[in-house]
């Protein structure tokens, strides 16, 4: 069912203009790579990015007939360089997927271990990095006429869960940044976020205790994402999910059709009580 929904969404992504360009940060593996592959399959020219894993990034870019740029978005000026290289190569930016992120595993009860340095490091990537790339890309997204930003957040930014308190707080900040940007630059540029639960990636391969503990999330196992097909992002019945399900059905569909987006965003608000409740929004439809 999810696959059919993805295919249906994909037809909105390419129109009769020159092939649009998608920049996906942190995209050499996991969700980012899955999103990059889906967007390329829908006819977009894709720019792949990472801090390390240069060989994997170059290989993926070659597979997708795209382009790879090594850049650390947490470093001042690197986000602007990433966007500039994208425009230099393809002449435009139509979709930005802020997927790059990092975490440190710290037991929530170990307050002393969550040092200010860790907070700053996670904020630099998960919040400030996304901000810097978005600001640099915004003139090009506006010029696109159908610009779209998708911030890859986390269930940890919505519920009391996650690999550490600093990580969860940074993702909560990213969620609010999404709302602020949506209300500021929409409807000319659509800004939305997706909030996956635990996803099986190389990064989380050894997180056996957290994976087993995902049963605790069962009360929250209802739809947790802020786009269509939210089931594919939340851990169904306390299970983790896979990038192949999470990435394409969230980031790709968020760029598809404004009417399908449930994130509160200027110019694109769902009035479905079920979807609004799933997104954590007031069920009563808003007027205007």
* Residue 167 appears among annotated catalytic residues: yes
Q: Which two tokens stand for residue 244?
A: 């192949």
Please say whether the beta carbons of 131 and 176 come within 8 A: no
- Pair type for strands 95-98 and 189-194: unpaired
Q: Which two tokens stand for residue 266?
A: 């200027």
Strand order of the β-sheet with 45-50 is 67-70, 45-50, 21-24, 95-98, 147-152, 189-194
Closest listed residue to residue 69, CA positions, set 23, 138, 16, 111: 23
Residues 6+ apart with CB under 8 A from 13: 20, 39, 42, 43, 44, 252, 255, 256
Q: Which two tokens stand for residue 241?
A: 């999910």
Burial class (CB in 10 A: 0-12, 13-18, 19+), 288: exposed
From the candidates 68, 123, 167, 220, give the one annotated as an active-site residue. 167
Residues 6+ apart with CB under 8 A from 184: 266
Catalytic residues: 167
């Amino acid at each position: 069912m999810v696959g059919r929904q993805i295919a249906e969404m994909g037809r909105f992504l390419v129109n009769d203009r020159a092939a649009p360009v998608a920049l996906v940060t942190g995209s050499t593996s996991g969700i980012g790579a899955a999103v990059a592959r889906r967007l390329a399959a829908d006819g977009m020219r894709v720019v792949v990015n990472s801090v390390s894993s240069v060989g994997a990034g170059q290989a993926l870019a070659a597979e997708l007939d795209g382009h790879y740029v090594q850049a650390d978005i947490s470093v001042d000026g690197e986000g602007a360089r990433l966007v500039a290289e994208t425009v230099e190569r393809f002449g435009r930016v139509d979709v930005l997927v802020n997927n790059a992120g990092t975490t440190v595993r710290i037991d929530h009860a170990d307050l002393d271990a969550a040092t200010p340095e860790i907070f700053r490091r996670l904020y630099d990537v998960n919040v400030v990095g996304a901000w810097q790339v978005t600001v640099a890309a915004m003139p090009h997204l506006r010029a696109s006429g159908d610009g779209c930003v998708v911030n890859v957040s986390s269930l940890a930014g919505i519920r009391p869960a996650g690999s550490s308190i600093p990580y969860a707080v940074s993702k909560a900040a990213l969620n609010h940044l999404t709302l602020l940007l949506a209300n500021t630059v929409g409807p000319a540029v659509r800004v939305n976020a997706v909030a996956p639960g635990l996803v099986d990636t190389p990064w989380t391969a050894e997180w056996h205790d957290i994976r087993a503990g995902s049963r605790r999330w069962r009360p929250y196992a209802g739809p947790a994402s802020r786009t269509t097909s939210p089931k594919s992002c939340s851990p169904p019945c306390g299970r983790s999910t896979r990038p192949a399900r999470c990435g394409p059905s969230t980031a790709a569909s968020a760029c598809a059709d404004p009417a399908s987006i449930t994130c509160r965003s200027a110019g694109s608000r769902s009035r479905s009580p079920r979807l609004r409740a799933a997104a954590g929004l007031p069920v009563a439809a808003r007027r205007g």
